[in-house]
Structure 1
Amino acid sequence: MIDLEKVRAIDFHTHAEEPCGCHADDGYDDLQTAMAEYFGAPWKHPPTVEQTAAHYREQNIAAVIFPVDAERETGYRRYKNEEVAELAAKHSDILIPFASIDPHKGKLGAREARNLVENYGVQGFKFHPTMQGFYPNDRMAYTLYEAIAETGKPALFHTGQTGVGSGMPGGNGMRLKYSNPMYIDDVAVDFPDMPIILAHPSFPWQEEALAVAQHKPNVYIDLSGWSPKYFPPILVRYANTLLRKKMLFGSDWPMISPEKWLAAFDKADFRDDVRPGILKNNAAKLLGLT
């Protein structure tokens, strides 16, 4: 269990990576290399779950960790949710497991979601519309959403343009249109009791994301994927006021380290009284840790 008194923050957005050297034939290594160059990541090979746990323990930061199931759309091998959850369970003092299921799997995906929560301790679900190739409000996905809503666990959606596929030919075939946060407004209407997190500053749709989070009680925003020094002023303004209880620290590890994000956060124009909520308290409440 996470000791909230011990950890100084909860990172709501970290990626689980398998041991290096097993994706050379499906293109995943090329994607990771391009993303590392875009973000200026310091590593040669992405850190494993075990290495991630060690790093976050050293930093006294808890981390939500997940794979991305985009095998159907991209061909990249799926890192099994069960394996990630089992590894996270070995480091339950620091890691909080989320799962990822391609919504195209329909009833098969819904069955997997229920099993992961009941038998593997999964605490939420990650969607990446750009990589998975779907509009979040496509009724095709609703079978899976219904199963997630039944569990009471949150759903985390990638939004906007970050570094994934950036600079690669054709953006590596990834279409930005799927990650407009306004499509998630429909999901928030149709599943009002399911906590929803809009991941990342949602460039170029930042105001849409703020509008959805302000209008829908069940919608939150994680601040991962960008250094706080690049946050648009309107995002900081809403974080300091109307959405101060709905903003969550996220790094996007391993592309951005938590300590690098936090160093930039220290210098950004966030009010002192909202910082504890962004860094830990809002996430702790959302995850049911308090």
Structure 2
Amino acid sequence: MTLDLSKIVAIDVHAHSMVSHEHPELADDEMNQHIVADAKKRWKTDLTTISVDESAAYYRDRNMMAVIFTVDSESGLGERRVPNREVLDGALRNSDVLIPFASIDPWKGRMGVSEAKDLIAAGVKGFKFHPSIQAFYPNDRRAYPLYEVIAEAGLTALFHSGQTGVGKTSPGGGGVRLKYSNPMFLDDVAADFPDMSIIIAHPSFPWQQEALAVALHKQNVYIDLSGWSPKYFPQELVHYSNTLLKHKILFGSDFPLMTPDRWIADFEQQEFRDEVRPLILKENAAKLFGFTE
């Protein structure tokens, strides 16, 4: 399929593929079942089990594009991941609306680096990391060989930041540690890999100022606004989105947990400048991913 950017009204840089339809046996995995059930309960959504093709149809109906990915938490949570290749193949079938990212746990070492190279050759456009559930500091040197592959290919790395809902309903937070997702650790990564674009995902509670500081200082760092309704954004985040960071703020929903319909409806009610809204919804991401100059 051919991309026609003129018909696209928004680019959502944060959408999940949560279940495998090519490998239904993964649905029997106890941790997978717990995570999907917990997400469905907390977010009150029936969309957690839709396929990549169904996700594409959802976005196509809305004249939107989306970055889509699984999350590899096999070592941190023991959850068997949705295969990266399944997400990639589905996105390639729907290349008019889906941008394929992959996820590789940095603890997989050389095996992970090899997988990353194969996925890049096959058409992946970026990689998603979740430091809290992968249990690593982003500036841990064990992750650097993986970053080197991403940077060499000129691709984007997207990092979860701040608090996470994963484990929230389990004793002890399910063993998930929030400390790994302080965005200040990404300052080292951005300095050491200036040719790799980095997206700090979510309003970074309780480290919003750290995220803003890193994005202001490092040219290769962006912030996506996924996972929160815009009506709950800190005022400081709105201020910088309207001013010094207006070309580095990206629309993200956290689909299917939060839908773009709800996010945009709330976004329209907040104090974002008229000239900034199209930058956030589409133009900044289009430039980041090379769709425009």
Q: What TM-score do you get using the length of structure 1 for normalisation?
A: 0.96
* CA pair 155-92 structure 1, distance change in 2 beyond 3 A: same
What amino acid is aligned across from residue 12 of structure 1 in structure 2? V
Matches within 5 A, 1:64-143: 64-118=67-121, 120-143=122-145
**Structure 1 residue 202: deviation in Å?**
0.3
* CA pair 158-37 structure 1, distance change in 2 beyond 3 A: same
- Contact 1:249–1:279 under 8 Å retained in 2: yes
**Structure 1 residue 23: deviation in Å?**
2.8
Deviation sequence 1:180-214 (CA, Å, 0-9, x none):
00111110111111100000000010010000000
**Structure 1 residue 45: deviation in Å?**
4.8
**Structure 1 residue 44: deviation in Å?**
6.7
Q: Distance in 2 between matches of 1:124 and 1:231?
A: 26
Q: Distance in 2 between matches of 1:62 and 1:109?
A: 28
What amino acid is aligned across from residue 142 of structure 2 in structure 1? M
Deviation sequence 1:146-171 (CA, Å, 0-9, x none):
11110000100000013222222221
Deviation sequence 1:89-116 (CA, Å, 0-9, x none):
1111110000111111222222221221
Q: Distance in 2 between matches of 1:21 and 1:142?
A: 33
- Contact 1:180–1:205 under 8 Å retained in 2: yes
Q: Residue 288 of structure 1 aligns with which residue?
A: 290
Matches within 5 A, 1:1-290: 1-17=2-18, 18-19=20-21, 22-41=26-45, 43=46, 45-118=48-121, 120-290=122-292
**Structure 1 residue 5: deviation in Å?**
0.5
**Structure 1 residue 16: deviation in Å?**
1.1
Q: Distance in 1 between matches of 2:25 and 2:267?
A: 34
**Structure 1 residue 131: deviation in Å?**
1.1
Deviation sequence 1:201-252 (CA, Å, 0-9, x none):
0001001000000011000000000010110100000000010000000000
Farther-moved stretch of structure 1 (105-114 vs 68-77): 105-114
SS class of match (2:279): helix
Q: Distance in 2 between matches of 1:77 and 1:260?
A: 30
* CA pair 45-256 structure 1, distance change in 2 beyond 3 A: closer
Farther-moved stretch of structure 1 (91-100 vs 10-19): 10-19
Q: CA RMSD in A?
A: 1.4
Q: Distance in 2 between matches of 1:127 and 1:25?
A: 22
Deviation sequence 1:245-270 (CA, Å, 0-9, x none):
00000000010011111100000111
* CA pair 3-125 structure 1, distance change in 2 beyond 3 A: same
**Structure 1 residue 271: deviation in Å?**
0.5
Deviation sequence 1:70-129 (CA, Å, 0-9, x none):
1111111121111211111111111000011111122222222122111x2100010010
Q: Distance in 1 between matches of 2:129 and 2:188?
A: 15
Farther-moved stretch of structure 1 (84-93 vs 15-24): 15-24
Where has structure 1 moved over 6 Å in runs of 4 or more? Answer: none
Identity of aligned residues (%): 58
Structure 2, unpaired ranges of 5+: none
SS class of match (1:264): helix
Q: Distance in 1 between matches of 2:102 and 2:44?
A: 27
- Contact 1:39–1:163 under 8 Å retained in 2: no
SS class of match (1:27): helix
What amino acid is aligned across from residue 9 of structure 1 in structure 2? A
Q: Distance in 1 between matches of 2:156 and 2:133?
A: 20
Q: Distance in 2 between matches of 1:253 and 1:21?
A: 23
Q: Distance in 2 between matches of 1:235 and 1:154?
A: 22
Q: Distance in 2 between matches of 1:30 and 1:229?
A: 29
